[in-house]
Amino acid sequence: MPPVTQRIENEAELAPFAARLAGLLRGGDVVALYGGLGAGKTALSRALIRHLAQNPDEEVPSPTFTLVQMYDLPDFTLWHFDLYRLEQEERDILELGWEEARRGGVALVEWPERLGGLLPPDRLEINIDFDTENGAAEGARQMTLTGHGAWQARLAAGEFLSL
Ligand SMILES: Nc1ncnc2c1ncn2[C@@H]1O[C@H](COP(=O)(O)OP(=O)(O)OP(=O)(O)O)[C@@H](O)[C@H]1O
Ligand SMILES: [Mg+2]
């Protein structure tokens, strides 16, 4: 299954995209959110968490300083990590509750590069890039979804683009 790509023209378009993404998730999943500074990892996380919480006003602060924020959602606990300020130290990630998150929770990870050897083989990878194609709106983003391990089949089965 080749990666799934979608252009997101503005922040408002994140809501329907996040809703489709939410439909694929279940407890135990890891979503690795790649993208440079300001790419929109937190904005996508916020849209996803608000959809899952069924609350468009849910407070979703960036975990820049706390490094992790937890959300008790109807179907699972979601752990929103931002590992930017971590060195590549697995011990520190474990101290943030990584193993607890992996026991049935969903881990949504900004800067997953920092996971090192803790990056699980089964994961949904999302890359966020600025969309500079002809005709793209100012500030538009390109989302690229790639399934690794068990996620290869799940992403294909989800027929994400037609959901
Ligand atoms: N899809 C989008 N379309 C337009 N603007 C967006 C989009 N996503 C995010 N933005 C804007 O880009 C800025 C940075 O977004 P955000 O904080 O989500 O980035 P980030 O990838 O989490 O950055 P960091 O690496 O610092 O955590 C915000 O001002 C946000 O409003
Ligand atoms: Mg962020």
Instruction: Decide if 122 is inside a domain.
Output: yes
pLDDT at position 35: 98
Instruction: Decide if 53 is inside a domain.
Output: yes
Instruction: Decide if 19 is inside a domain.
Output: yes
Instruction: Decide if 152 is inside a domain.
Output: no
Task: Evaluate whether 46 touches 63 at the Cβ level (below 8 Å).
Answer: no
Instruction: Decide if 157 is inside a domain.
Output: no
pLDDT at position 163: 58
Check pocket membership of 16 for ligand 1, CB cut-off 6 A.
Answer: no
pLDDT at position 137: 81
pTM comes to 0.95
Instruction: Decide if 160 is inside a domain.
Output: no
CA angle 106, 107, 108 (to 5 degrees): 115
pLDDT, tens only, 113-155: 999 999 999 999 999 999 988 787 888 999 999 999 999 999 9
Instruction: Decide if 44 is inside a domain.
Output: yes
Check pocket membership of 35 for ligand 1, CB cut-off 6 A.
Answer: yes
136-148 in b/e form (b: 16+ CB < 10 A) is: eeeebbbbbbbbb
What span, in angstroms and rounded, lies between the C-alpha atoms of 163 and 160? 5
Given the CA of residue 36, which atom of ligand 1 is nearest to it?
25
Q: In this structure, what DSSP letter does residue 45 have?
A: H
Check pocket membership of 38 for ligand 1, CB cut-off 6 A.
Answer: yes
Closest C-alpha among 131, 145, 129 to residue 4 = 145
88 CA distance to ligand 2 middle (Å): 18
CA angle 31, 97, 110 (to 5 degrees): 35
What domain range includes position 135?
4-147
Structurally, how many domains does the chain consist of? 1
What span, in angstroms and rounded, lies between the C-alpha atoms of 100 and 65? 20
Ranges of the chain whose pLDDT falls below 70: 88, 158, 161-163
What span, in angstroms and rounded, lies between the C-alpha atoms of 13 and 44? 10
pLDDT at position 132: 84
Instruction: Decide if 161 is inside a domain.
Output: no
Check pocket membership of 88 for ligand 1, CB cut-off 6 A.
Answer: no
pLDDT at position 158: 64
Q: Read off the CATH number of the domain in which 92 is found.
A: 3.40.50.300
